[in-house]
Amino acid sequence: MRRNKSAYWICQLTGWSTFILVWTFFYFAIRTKPYPFFFQSLFVDAICGFVITHIMRLVVINLKIIKTSLQKQIIAVLLISLLFSLLYSFCTIFITMKSDWEVDQMRNYSLLNKTLRNSATTFLYLLIWNLIYFSYHYIEKSRQEQLDKMKLETTVKELELKTIKSHINPHFIFNALNSIRALVDENPGRARTAITELSNILRSSMQAEKIETAPFERELNIVKDYLALEQIRFEDRLVVEYDIDEDTLDQPFPPMMLQTLVENAIKHGISKQINGGTVKIISDFVGNNHELIVRNTGAITSNSGDGGFGITSTHNRLNLLYGKQANFNLKNLNDGMVEAKVTIPVLI
């Protein structure tokens, strides 16, 4: 607020100083004869203009005209400029008459007549002043509304991302604990191994709450721990394959997203196959995009739907983080496989 007030006073001083300089230039450049008391009258005009426009600004602020509609502001500019031009003219003419600075041809007119004749010129000054003042505030108001809108959108996105993450981690923990529970009675040794692997995954997932993206290598290592845990559960029924371009390991990737896709591949694909199946993870560059593919044995049916919350959260997170630059699709392949593909822009 203090900075705005300082800018206002600087503009006032600069504007009316320019007014004096312009009229001085015209006086010396195009005058045909000396004009008595020119500079005295000029400084009176400038000082009165300075004071009158400041009073006019206070009226605008107190009436809150800036906050009204554009149509009302235009009407207010015309009315205020007209009223204060009469006041401006009266003040300057009155001071000129009292100081005896008038030119001879103006002495025969009454104060009212002189005020009305001079108000045409002062109306133009004040109209220009108001147009500049209202235009500045209109632009500033629009800019502030745009900033507020951007801040609101950013806040909403942050809240949505945090909400999505809070769903992803409990969802993952629930599935992982189910896998361990299946091992407790059958093979306590393997259950202990699974708990160790789960602790590594949980440690990584807790760190994921603090970041929006992480190196793809970190996400891949988490998934390798998860798949090692699931292989204990499925044994020979689960085959895991990797086709990873090492150059993609440094690329930023949404945390827990790969984990979610692999969980869906296990839950909706492998677990429903009597003989199990294969999960294959492919990571490569395609053009200017990082393309991640998770393939699993199975098929998308009307009963399996779109994979539930995991697929929905993947769509939402990609949209929030990358907008239209990212893409996600899930489809059946001809060889009895399901493919989930994530495409995000490469950050160089």
**111 or 65, greater pLDDT:** 65
CA distances from 299 to 263, 265, 267, 338 (A): 15, 10, 12, 6
* Rounded (5°) CA angle 316-318-322: 130
pLDDT of residue 92: 85
Q: What is the pLDDT of residues 196-218, one digit of tens each?
A: 888 877 777 666 556 778 899 99
Torsion over CA: 157, 158, 163, 165 (sign):
positive
Containing 224, the helix (H) or strand (E) segment is helix 216-234
Rounded percentage of the chain residues whose pLDDT exceeds 70: 83
For the four alpha carbons of 9, 13, 14 and 16, in that order, the dihedral sign comes to positive
Q: Which residues contact 164 (CB under 8 A, 6 or more apart)?
A: 313, 316, 317, 320
To 10 degrees, what angle do helices 309-322 and 111-184 make?
Answer: 140
Query: Is a pLDDT exceeding 70 seen at residue 144?
Result: yes
Judged by average pLDDT, the poorest of 231-235, 262-266, 339-343 is: 231-235
| 238-244/277-286 β-pairing | parallel
Q: For strand 289-297 and strand 252-253, is the pairing parallel, antiparallel, or unpaired?
A: unpaired
Model confidence, pTM? 0.54
Q: What is the pLDDT of residues 265-306, one digit of tens each?
A: 988 899 889 899 999 999 999 999 999 999 999 988 765 544
- For residues 342 and 325, is the Cβ–Cβ distance under 8 A? no
Displacement of CA 39 from its chain's centroid (Å): 53
Which pLDDT value is given to residue 100?
A: 73
Phi, psi for residue 211 in degrees, rounded to 5:
-130, 155
- Average pLDDT for residues 74-103, to the nearest whole number? 84
Domains, in order of start, for the chain: 2-149 (no CATH), 185-345 (3.30.565.10)
pLDDT at 231 over 70: yes
Structure tokens at 265: 């591949």
Q: Are strands 277-286 and 289-297 parallel, antiparallel or unpaired?
A: antiparallel
**Using 50, 70 and 90 to split pLDDT, how confident is the model at 246?**
very high
Q: Where are the alpha helices (DSSP H) in 236-340?
A: 257-268, 309-322
307 pLDDT exceeds 70?
Answer: no
Mean pLDDT of all residues in 18-28: 88
The three-point CA angle 26-27-30 to 5° equals: 65
Q: Which two three-digit tokens encode residue 85?
A: 């031009």
Among 5-19, 277-291, 297-311, 320-334, the range scoring the smallest mean pLDDT is 297-311
Average pLDDT in the chain: 82
Longest dimension (CA), the chain: 118
pLDDT, average across residues 161-183: 66
pLDDT for the residue numbered 217? 94
- Contact call for residues 168 and 256 (beta carbons, < 8 A): yes
Length of the chain: 348
Q: Which residues contact 59 (CB under 8 A, 6 or more apart)?
A: 80
Which residue, 240, 242, 313, 309, is CA-closest to 270? 240
Angle, helices 38-62/2-30, rounded to nearest 10 degrees: 150
* Span 141-159, average pLDDT: 74
What pLDDT, on the 0 to 100 scale, is given for residue 106? 56
Residue 73, token pair as written in the block: 């502001």
